[in-house]
Structure 1
């Protein structure tokens, strides 16, 4: 009658008020309008006789819960609505045994009425509705909603994480079968008749051949499929292409500084002095060399050499 949906989690598709997606805030999840009558009665009792309007909707937090599969005579009371996923799936269901008048309530979330969430939204009101259903002998269930609830079909998806770890196999694609399956049978491939027998007998005379009894012909069986041979190239699967890798200059990434300076010298002439100085500054890792002129680069390098000489006089 009532069962949990396997491998299922109710989440909210868009952020509103609660940070975690599994803390699903459901606004339009009424499956049976009978609970609105009970909710209005309970609301009037708590307001000490004050005039209040009838409750038209119930908002509740459904934290870390799963959806339910409800079959008759079970009755779905609340659902996930149209904002949470999966859409329009039962979250709370009632069942009454007509023989013993026993009652059963199934809720897909074990944290809905904990201290953290019972005071959030209308969770406390839903708790009072459940107690009203258990204590009162007659509960106003809407029979029209009970017979035809607005529940969407449950769609299962494969375990994508598990499938991604499995080895891929090479599959052979075939043509789609025709709608008329009788076209798949060919009755003319091995047809046997005597229509050509007369022509065969006359052929003996035309070719001057003697008639002899038929001899046993060694049969040659045709294989339905060719022999398997190892593939020399990997199969092409219909997957998204791998991301393009950024291109690197291996000489620039792994060559030493003297080797890179030598490469710059080899490709420059006397007319490329300005370009040569700037390229050497970039190879040496001189900061800000892109915005400097050749004179400024030489000045900065000579200053560094002079400072180095001053500090390392004893070593010289």
Structure 2
């Protein structure tokens, strides 16, 4: 689609040869769309002469910058205050596109005359009353990187306050007195067919850029770049690289100067494996008359302290816990009334006498004394702490019976 759009207005030619002055002599716009090779010093001189003579140069890269595309185009752009970083632009949360690197940027057109012109065109706009109308514009910036822009160049597009890193340049523009122009954008994918057909703002930005580079109808002034909010470029630690090369302690570095490249602080030799003694080791086999053959794996034998576990067919039966070691009590003896206890005691004694072989044999005096004492204990005549003889117990009982005699 981009080719058809350009072909309708311009004559398009593709150059695969080395850059020479005669090639760019009849060219108005020279586009470097994702160069994947390094330029020579002579080619940079040709580009510099092309811009100084009023030509327009358009540079497009993508995520990763120079490192990803294996080019040195920044060496040329730095002369004009433009540098394409080797980073990525990411949308922190989901919005429209599925991939986080397909960024939908709002408020990223910071050149005032540019966003006022785009607002008049059929672009994608947000129906919301913003304090600054430039936030109504949304354009797609997929798989791109940020730029560093300084004088004499100016910023046309930024990441805005939503896309990370925040408020970083995306497009740098330079124009000299001879109307020679350089435009560098960190993403060439924003003019892919997918984004030109689905998003009108990208199509409008493309037409604006072509008009800016091909003609002199668009002129900027210092007021167009007054309200540009930019944040400093911040670098973060390469956590993945440091995790692969751990250092046990950094105490030795106290008091010493830390190098500018922090990667030099890691000792790579600690993880190296030298084969310089391999030849001597092989010769030792011959000296010892040992056959040289690859080492065999020795299967280790582990001592298992417990047998292997097996699934039980039936659930295990656990034994009931033992009874608690409590003192035994005769509940009948404790809770029965005194009359029942006396009857049980008398019945036991009579049963013992009846079961004897000689019923006429006189009772044992010792058993009789125990019977009297037990009856006295049941009837509370004596306490368990006091020990009285059977005669004294009978005396106490006789005195109590006498007191019950009726008066005449």
TM-score, scaled to structure 1: 0.51
- The structural deviation recorded for 1:80 is 0.5
Question: Which residue of 1 is the match for residue 192 of structure 2?
Answer: 114
Aligned-residue offset at 1:136: 2.6
Change (3 A) 1:168 1:72: same
Checking the alignment, whether the CA contact within 8 Å between 2:146 and 2:168 is kept in structure 1 is yes
Specify whether residues 41 and 251 from structure 1 end up closer, same or farther in structure 2 by C-alpha distance, changes over 3 A only.
same
| 1:261-300 correspondence runs (5 A) | 264=316, 268-269=319-320
Query: For structure 2, which runs of at least 5 residues remain unmatched after alignment?
Result: 1-80, 124-132, 256-303, 323-408
1:2 aligned residue: 82
Q: Which of 164, 172, 178 is the matching residue for 2:251?
A: 172
Q: For residues 18-37 of structure 1, what are the structure 2 equivalents within 5 Å?
A: 18-37=97-116
Does the Cα contact within 8 Å between 1:11 and 1:23 map onto a contact in 2?
yes
1:137 equivalent among 216, 220, 227: 216
Q: Following TM superposition, by how much is the alpha carbon of 1:143 offset from its aligned partner in structure 2, in angstroms?
A: 1.2
Separation in 1 of the partners of 2:306 and 2:218?
81
Separation of aligned partners in 1, 2:219 and 2:309:
83
Provide the TM-score with structure 2 as the length reference: 0.40
Deviations 1:257-311 (A, max 9, x none): 47998xx56x62488xxxxxxxxxxxxxxxxxxxxxxxxxxxxxxxxxxxxxxxx
Query: Does the residue aligned with 1:153 lie in a helix, a strand or coil?
Result: coil
Q: Over the residues paired in the alignment, what is the CA RMSD in angstroms?
A: 3.5
What is the deviation of 1:96? 0.6
Q: Is the 8 A contact 1:31 1:149 kept in 2?
A: yes
2:158–2:170: 8 Å Cα contact kept in structure 1? yes
Shift of 1:10: 0.6
- Give the drift of 1:139: 2.0
Aligned to 1:156: 235
Q: How far apart are the structure 2 equivalents of 1:83 and 1:254?
A: 59
Q: Report the equivalent of 1:93.
A: 172
Distance in 2 (alpha carbons) for counterparts of 1:116 and 1:73: 34
Distance 1:42-1:133 versus aligned 2 partners, 3 A rule? farther
> What's the counterpart of residue 64 of structure 1?
143
Q: How many residue pairs are counted as aligned between the two chains?
A: 184
Question: 1-side partners of 2:90 and 2:99: how far apart?
Answer: 9
Structure 1: tracts of 5 or more residues without a match: 45-54, 177-249, 272-316
CA offset at residue 162 of structure 1? 0.8
